Structure 1
Amino acid sequence: MHTITIRKAHRNDLEKLLEFEQGIITAERPFDPTLKEEKIHYYDIEKMISAPHIEVLVAEIDSELVGSGYARIETAKPYLNHLNYAYLGFMYTDANHRGKGVNAKIIEALKEWCNLQDVFELRLDVYNDNSSAIKAYEKAGFKKHLVNMRMIV
């Protein structure tokens, strides 16, 4: 059994984090026909690492980066019963390390960081047809809340 270590991401992790980002995009392409075909980026990871309202974490096993995730504090809509919430994203686990609880450990560490920021509402987006991701997030305590719909006209 290998120990999973969770820590803040550093700029020297950037090369591996950019690989993780492409892994996320590759995994999501089958669920999203609106993504451009060429190489794209979802995130400005370097900027996120230094932003005070974003906590970017990485998971390591035997000093190897195997996963990532972030929490970004956002202002809630004025009609909601909370002032802020944290949006979770950049959730990735290397294929060779899935099923080991990497994602769950990252989410737990992000929850702790959010609580220290007095943020107690967590949100994330997941593709409706991505049943394995939905199952993992439900196992971590998330519940389905809204369904985002689209149409081409």
Structure 2
Amino acid sequence: MKLRRLPADEPAVRRYVEELWLPFHHDLEANVDRHALAEDIDLVAEETAFRLDQLDEAGYRAWIAVDGSSTDDSGADTDLATTDGDFVGFVTTEIDEASSVFDRPDRLVVGDIYVREPYRGTGLSHRLIERAVERAREAGCAELALDVDVDNERAIGFYEKLGFETHRHRMTVSVDDV
């Protein structure tokens, strides 16, 4: 298993969206209240364009866990779009720099983390978080932060075991209801 940084390359990003991002969000849609994907649009095309824009941002990174061959005969990494390895998980991160008016460190925000069902319980989630920690250190960030759906009990348990603590609650209301 190898963790590979997702490049801002349309075929690689499209493969990531098809093989990881979409299954991740379908899983959330089935298990988490208030998580629904839009209908009547080309989800792959829309998300691919969105991710390509994000990958052009200096503070944004995504890593893909590839199981199987991800190197060629010389040992060099193969193109993520064409590798015959399986995409089995990912983590996305973004730097949240603190304004000088706040007494808090810069944070690395874990945007999404996902591991395909057959790879759950193998330690891959820990490896993905470790990669985020490594990125935080490289960027001079002293904290990791993330949002987790309140009804995603498995994820909450995982994060709590890692030492994450709840510091805020995000609340929403329809504008029409206020």
For normalisation by structure 1, the TM-score amounts to: 0.82
| Residue equivalent to 1:71 | 93
**Secondary structure at the counterpart of residue 119 of structure 1:** coil
| Residue equivalent to 1:89 | 111
Instruction: Please say if 1:5 is aligned against 2:11.
Output: no
Q: Indicate how the Cα distance of structure 1 residues 34 and 71 shifts in structure 2: closer, same or farther if over 3 A, else same.
A: closer
Q: Is the 8 A contact 2:110 2:146 kept in 1?
A: yes
**Secondary structure at the counterpart of residue 12 of structure 2:** helix
| Residue equivalent to 1:52 | 58
Instruction: Please say if 1:26 is aligned against 2:23.
Output: no
Percent of counterpart pairs with the same letter? 22
**Secondary structure at the counterpart of residue 73 of structure 1:** strand
| Residue equivalent to 1:127 | 149
Quote the RMSD (CA, aligned, Å). Answer: 2.4
Q: Indicate how the Cα distance of structure 1 residues 58 and 34 shifts in structure 2: closer, same or farther if over 3 A, else same.
A: closer
Structure 1 distance, partners of 2:33, 2:47, is: 13
Structure 2 distance, partners of 1:104, 1:95, is: 15
| Residue equivalent to 1:145 | 167
| Residue equivalent to 2:129 | 107
Q: Is the 8 A contact 2:62 2:91 kept in 1?
A: yes
**Secondary structure at the counterpart of residue 46 of structure 1:** helix
Report deviation, 1:104. 1.1
CA-to-aligned-CA distance 1:90-120 (integer Å, 9 cap, x gap): 2111122111111210110111111111111
CA-to-aligned-CA distance 1:110-150 (integer Å, 9 cap, x gap): 11111111111111111111100111122233112212223
Which 5+ residue runs of structure 1 have no aligned equivalent?
none
The structure whose Rg is larger is: 2
Q: Is the 8 A contact 1:6 1:58 kept in 2?
A: yes
For normalisation by structure 2, the TM-score amounts to: 0.72
